[in-house]
A and B are shown apart, each in its own frame.
Chain A
Amino acid sequence: MEETIKIFTGHGHWSPLIWVAAALGTFSVALLLWLLGRREHKRGTDQEIPFLSGERMEEPRVSALHLYWGFAEALKPILTRLKTWHSGVVNDYAGWFLLILAVVFLLVIV
Protein backbone atom coordinates (compact mmCIF):
# COMPACT_ATOMS: atom_id res chain seq x y z
CA MET A 1 0.00 0.00 0.00
CA GLU A 2 2.77 2.33 0.92
CA GLU A 3 4.48 1.90 -2.42
CA THR A 4 1.37 2.34 -4.48
CA ILE A 5 0.84 5.82 -3.14
CA LYS A 6 4.20 7.37 -2.51
CA ILE A 7 6.51 8.65 -5.15
CA PHE A 8 10.14 8.24 -4.31
CA THR A 9 11.94 11.18 -5.77
CA GLY A 10 15.63 11.89 -5.82
CA HIS A 11 15.74 13.05 -2.26
CA GLY A 12 12.85 11.75 -0.33
CA HIS A 13 9.33 10.89 -1.07
CA TRP A 14 6.03 12.57 -1.63
CA SER A 15 2.69 11.21 -0.51
CA PRO A 16 -0.57 12.60 -1.78
CA LEU A 17 -2.42 11.45 1.35
CA ILE A 18 -0.90 14.21 3.40
CA TRP A 19 -1.80 16.72 0.80
CA VAL A 20 -5.34 15.45 0.55
CA ALA A 21 -5.65 15.85 4.26
CA ALA A 22 -4.19 19.33 4.06
CA ALA A 23 -6.53 20.25 1.24
CA LEU A 24 -9.50 18.93 3.18
CA GLY A 25 -8.41 20.92 6.20
CA THR A 26 -8.10 24.09 4.18
CA PHE A 27 -11.39 23.45 2.55
CA SER A 28 -13.16 22.91 5.86
CA VAL A 29 -11.71 26.12 7.25
CA ALA A 30 -12.88 27.98 4.18
CA LEU A 31 -16.31 26.41 4.48
CA LEU A 32 -16.46 27.43 8.09
CA LEU A 33 -15.61 31.00 7.27
CA TRP A 34 -18.12 31.05 4.46
CA LEU A 35 -20.83 29.68 6.72
CA LEU A 36 -19.99 32.28 9.30
CA GLY A 37 -20.42 35.01 6.74
CA ARG A 38 -23.56 33.46 5.35
CA ARG A 39 -25.49 33.99 8.58
CA GLU A 40 -25.36 37.72 8.16
CA HIS A 41 -25.98 37.64 4.43
CA LYS A 42 -29.43 38.76 3.40
CA ARG A 43 -30.69 38.50 -0.16
CA GLY A 44 -32.09 41.47 -1.91
CA THR A 45 -30.31 44.06 0.12
CA ASP A 46 -27.35 46.25 -0.69
CA GLN A 47 -25.10 43.44 0.38
CA GLU A 48 -25.39 41.86 -3.06
CA ILE A 49 -23.95 44.88 -4.80
CA PRO A 50 -20.18 44.84 -5.19
CA PHE A 51 -18.62 47.70 -3.36
CA LEU A 52 -14.99 48.42 -3.96
CA SER A 53 -12.96 51.26 -2.48
CA GLY A 54 -15.98 53.28 -1.63
CA GLU A 55 -17.15 53.29 -5.26
CA ARG A 56 -20.27 51.65 -6.42
CA MET A 57 -19.40 49.58 -9.47
CA GLU A 58 -21.34 49.89 -12.71
CA GLU A 59 -20.60 46.35 -13.76
CA PRO A 60 -21.71 43.91 -11.13
CA ARG A 61 -18.59 41.79 -11.31
CA VAL A 62 -14.90 42.08 -11.86
CA SER A 63 -14.21 41.15 -15.46
CA ALA A 64 -11.60 38.54 -16.04
CA LEU A 65 -9.64 40.95 -18.15
CA HIS A 66 -9.13 43.29 -15.26
CA LEU A 67 -7.50 40.80 -12.99
CA TYR A 68 -3.75 41.18 -12.57
CA TRP A 69 -3.84 44.53 -14.22
CA GLY A 70 -0.88 45.76 -12.23
CA PHE A 71 0.98 42.56 -12.86
CA ALA A 72 0.54 42.82 -16.59
CA GLU A 73 1.51 46.47 -16.42
CA ALA A 74 4.72 45.62 -14.65
CA LEU A 75 5.61 42.99 -17.20
CA LYS A 76 4.68 45.23 -20.09
CA PRO A 77 8.15 45.51 -21.67
CA ILE A 78 8.55 41.77 -21.80
CA LEU A 79 5.00 41.19 -22.94
CA THR A 80 5.22 43.70 -25.77
CA ARG A 81 8.42 42.09 -26.94
CA LEU A 82 6.79 38.69 -26.84
CA LYS A 83 3.75 40.01 -28.67
CA THR A 84 5.92 41.33 -31.46
CA TRP A 85 7.51 37.92 -31.72
CA HIS A 86 4.11 36.34 -32.18
CA SER A 87 3.58 38.54 -35.17
CA GLY A 88 1.26 36.23 -37.03
CA VAL A 89 3.33 36.49 -40.21
CA VAL A 90 4.25 33.04 -41.34
CA ASN A 91 7.53 34.24 -42.85
CA ASP A 92 8.72 35.25 -39.43
CA TYR A 93 7.87 31.84 -38.11
CA ALA A 94 9.89 30.28 -40.89
CA GLY A 95 12.70 32.66 -40.05
CA TRP A 96 12.66 31.52 -36.46
CA PHE A 97 12.81 27.98 -37.67
CA LEU A 98 15.80 28.83 -39.79
CA LEU A 99 17.43 30.41 -36.76
CA ILE A 100 16.88 27.29 -34.72
CA LEU A 101 18.27 25.23 -37.56
CA ALA A 102 21.40 27.38 -37.64
CA VAL A 103 21.79 27.25 -33.87
CA VAL A 104 21.41 23.50 -33.78
CA PHE A 105 23.90 23.14 -36.58
CA LEU A 106 26.35 25.33 -34.76
CA LEU A 107 25.84 23.48 -31.52
CA VAL A 108 26.04 20.00 -32.92
CA ILE A 109 28.76 20.36 -35.50
CA VAL A 110 31.15 22.94 -34.16
Chain B
Amino acid sequence: MRRVAEVAATFALAFLVYLILTAFSGEVGLWSWEELIGGAALSFLVALASSRLLWERGGWRLLNPVRFATFLVYLVGPFLLAMAKANLDVAYRVITGRINPGIVRFNPGLKTDAGRTLLANSITLTPGTLTLEVDDATGDFYVHWINVSNVDPKPEDVCGSFPKWARVVAE
Protein backbone atom coordinates (compact mmCIF):
# COMPACT_ATOMS: atom_id res chain seq x y z
CA MET B 1 0.00 0.00 0.00
CA ARG B 2 2.76 2.33 0.97
CA ARG B 3 4.47 1.44 -2.30
CA VAL B 4 1.37 2.42 -4.26
CA ALA B 5 1.20 5.68 -2.43
CA GLU B 6 4.86 6.31 -3.12
CA VAL B 7 4.44 5.66 -6.80
CA ALA B 8 1.31 7.75 -6.99
CA ALA B 9 2.91 10.69 -5.24
CA THR B 10 6.01 10.53 -7.41
CA PHE B 11 3.85 10.19 -10.47
CA ALA B 12 1.94 13.31 -9.51
CA LEU B 13 5.13 15.25 -8.95
CA ALA B 14 6.71 14.10 -12.20
CA PHE B 15 3.57 14.73 -14.16
CA LEU B 16 3.30 18.19 -12.72
CA VAL B 17 6.83 19.01 -13.80
CA TYR B 18 6.17 17.58 -17.21
CA LEU B 19 2.98 19.59 -17.59
CA ILE B 20 4.77 22.76 -16.62
CA LEU B 21 7.48 22.00 -19.16
CA THR B 22 5.10 21.39 -22.02
CA ALA B 23 2.48 24.01 -21.32
CA PHE B 24 1.08 25.92 -24.28
CA SER B 25 1.30 22.96 -26.60
CA GLY B 26 -2.31 22.42 -27.58
CA GLU B 27 -5.97 22.81 -27.08
CA VAL B 28 -6.83 20.52 -24.14
CA GLY B 29 -6.53 23.27 -21.64
CA LEU B 30 -2.98 24.28 -22.31
CA TRP B 31 -1.87 20.87 -23.55
CA SER B 32 -2.44 18.56 -26.46
CA TRP B 33 -3.64 14.98 -26.08
CA GLU B 34 -0.35 13.50 -27.17
CA GLU B 35 1.53 15.47 -24.59
CA LEU B 36 -0.82 14.35 -21.86
CA ILE B 37 -0.64 10.67 -22.78
CA GLY B 38 3.09 10.68 -23.38
CA GLY B 39 3.71 12.66 -20.25
CA ALA B 40 1.63 10.27 -18.19
CA ALA B 41 3.52 7.29 -19.52
CA LEU B 42 6.85 8.96 -18.94
CA SER B 43 5.88 10.06 -15.45
CA PHE B 44 4.76 6.56 -14.62
CA LEU B 45 8.09 5.14 -15.69
CA VAL B 46 9.93 7.77 -13.72
CA ALA B 47 7.74 7.10 -10.70
CA LEU B 48 8.50 3.40 -10.86
CA ALA B 49 12.20 4.11 -11.08
CA SER B 50 12.61 6.77 -8.45
CA SER B 51 9.74 6.57 -5.99
CA ARG B 52 11.50 4.38 -3.48
CA LEU B 53 14.41 6.73 -3.23
CA LEU B 54 12.28 9.84 -3.03
CA TRP B 55 10.09 8.78 -0.14
CA GLU B 56 12.64 6.72 1.69
CA ARG B 57 12.89 9.13 4.59
CA GLY B 58 9.29 10.19 4.78
CA GLY B 59 8.44 13.74 3.89
CA TRP B 60 4.77 13.12 3.19
CA ARG B 61 3.89 16.29 4.99
CA LEU B 62 5.20 18.32 2.10
CA LEU B 63 2.32 17.18 -0.04
CA ASN B 64 -0.02 19.30 2.05
CA PRO B 65 -1.04 22.27 -0.12
CA VAL B 66 -1.15 24.58 2.87
CA ARG B 67 2.51 23.92 3.51
CA PHE B 68 3.18 24.50 -0.14
CA ALA B 69 1.50 27.85 -0.05
CA THR B 70 3.41 28.74 3.08
CA PHE B 71 6.59 27.80 1.33
CA LEU B 72 5.83 30.12 -1.55
CA VAL B 73 5.00 32.92 0.86
CA TYR B 74 8.25 32.28 2.63
CA LEU B 75 10.14 32.26 -0.63
CA VAL B 76 8.95 35.60 -1.90
CA GLY B 77 8.67 37.21 1.53
CA PRO B 78 11.33 36.88 4.20
CA PHE B 79 13.64 34.80 2.09
CA LEU B 80 13.99 37.25 -0.75
CA LEU B 81 14.36 40.08 1.71
CA ALA B 82 17.08 38.23 3.58
CA MET B 83 18.79 37.49 0.34
CA ALA B 84 18.82 41.11 -0.66
CA LYS B 85 20.24 41.99 2.71
CA ALA B 86 22.81 39.26 2.35
CA ASN B 87 23.97 40.63 -0.94
CA LEU B 88 24.29 44.13 0.33
CA ASP B 89 26.24 42.68 3.22
CA VAL B 90 28.56 40.85 0.89
CA ALA B 91 28.93 43.98 -1.21
CA TYR B 92 29.93 45.88 1.88
CA ARG B 93 32.49 43.25 2.78
CA VAL B 94 33.84 42.99 -0.73
CA ILE B 95 34.41 46.71 -0.82
CA THR B 96 35.80 47.13 2.68
CA GLY B 97 37.37 43.71 3.10
CA ARG B 98 36.27 43.70 6.75
CA ILE B 99 35.67 40.16 7.89
CA ASN B 100 35.68 38.33 11.18
CA PRO B 101 34.96 34.74 10.26
CA GLY B 102 34.50 31.63 12.32
CA ILE B 103 32.65 28.37 12.43
CA VAL B 104 29.93 28.21 15.02
CA ARG B 105 27.51 25.55 16.13
CA PHE B 106 23.85 25.85 17.03
CA ASN B 107 20.89 23.56 17.25
CA PRO B 108 17.67 24.78 15.69
CA GLY B 109 15.83 21.69 16.88
CA LEU B 110 14.63 20.49 13.51
CA LYS B 111 13.90 16.80 13.13
CA THR B 112 13.03 16.00 9.52
CA ASP B 113 15.27 15.85 6.49
CA ALA B 114 13.18 18.32 4.59
CA GLY B 115 13.23 20.86 7.40
CA ARG B 116 16.97 20.60 7.82
CA THR B 117 17.54 20.88 4.10
CA LEU B 118 15.33 23.91 3.81
CA LEU B 119 17.03 25.61 6.71
CA ALA B 120 20.50 24.72 5.49
CA ASN B 121 19.89 26.09 2.03
CA SER B 122 18.26 29.20 3.42
CA ILE B 123 21.22 29.76 5.68
CA THR B 124 23.60 29.33 2.79
CA LEU B 125 21.83 31.97 0.76
CA THR B 126 21.37 34.54 3.48
CA PRO B 127 23.52 37.07 5.30
CA GLY B 128 26.99 36.10 6.14
CA THR B 129 26.44 32.43 6.75
CA LEU B 130 27.29 29.20 5.00
CA THR B 131 26.24 25.76 6.20
CA LEU B 132 29.22 23.51 6.59
CA GLU B 133 27.88 20.40 8.20
CA VAL B 134 24.60 19.04 9.49
CA ASP B 135 24.91 16.41 12.14
CA ASP B 136 22.54 13.58 11.28
CA ALA B 137 22.15 12.35 14.83
CA THR B 138 21.80 15.50 16.88
CA GLY B 139 20.62 18.00 14.34
CA ASP B 140 23.47 20.38 15.12
CA PHE B 141 24.26 22.90 12.41
CA TYR B 142 27.84 23.97 11.86
CA VAL B 143 27.87 27.29 10.11
CA HIS B 144 30.66 29.37 8.69
CA TRP B 145 29.79 32.84 9.83
CA ILE B 146 31.52 35.72 8.17
CA ASN B 147 31.02 38.12 11.07
CA VAL B 148 31.14 36.30 14.35
CA SER B 149 29.52 38.34 17.06
CA ASN B 150 28.95 35.56 19.51
CA VAL B 151 30.99 32.40 19.80
CA ASP B 152 28.08 30.28 21.01
CA PRO B 153 25.10 31.81 19.28
CA LYS B 154 21.46 31.05 19.59
CA PRO B 155 19.74 30.09 16.32
CA GLU B 156 18.12 33.50 16.19
CA ASP B 157 21.48 35.22 16.13
CA VAL B 158 22.59 33.39 13.06
CA CYS B 159 19.53 32.99 10.93
CA GLY B 160 16.74 35.03 12.41
CA SER B 161 13.30 33.57 11.97
CA PHE B 162 14.23 30.88 9.48
CA PRO B 163 13.97 27.90 11.82
CA LYS B 164 10.45 28.95 12.64
CA TRP B 165 9.53 29.11 8.99
CA ALA B 166 11.23 25.82 8.31
CA ARG B 167 9.23 24.22 11.09
CA VAL B 168 6.00 25.62 9.73
CA VAL B 169 6.75 24.54 6.20
CA ALA B 170 8.34 21.15 6.70
CA GLU B 171 7.63 19.72 10.14
Touch A–B, Cβ below 8 Å: no
Interface positions of A (Cβ within 8 A of B): none
Interface positions of B (Cβ within 8 A of A): none
